[in-house]
Amino acid sequence: MSKFSYFYFSSFIFFFAGLLHLYRALNGFELSIGPLSIPVWMSWVLVLITGIMVYFSVKFRK
């Protein structure tokens, strides 16, 4: 896999994950994994983190 393909694919995955977290945060959906309940504020943090990851994936793709 070339460097361009890797960063293109990873930026798509990070963007999609960020959209899912943004959707969850805006609608206030609850997320439970077993007995663990993930708070909505964690999705806001993850939207920021995935946004940064998308930015750098696109930047390094060039």
Residue 7's pLDDT is what? 85
Amino acid at 39: P
- 62 has a pLDDT exceeding 80: no
Tokens for 32?
């439970």
* Four-CA torsion 39, 44, 50, 56, nearest 10 degrees: -150
Average pLDDT over residues 36-58: 94
Tokens for 60?
């390094």
Maximum separation of any 2 CA atoms in the chain, in Å: 43
Cα(36)–Cα(57) distance, integer angstroms: 31
Helix (H, G, I), strand (E, B) or coil at 43: helix
Residue 31's pLDDT is what? 87
What does the pLDDT look like over 5-35, one tens digit per residue? 888 899 999 999 999 999 999 999 888 999 9
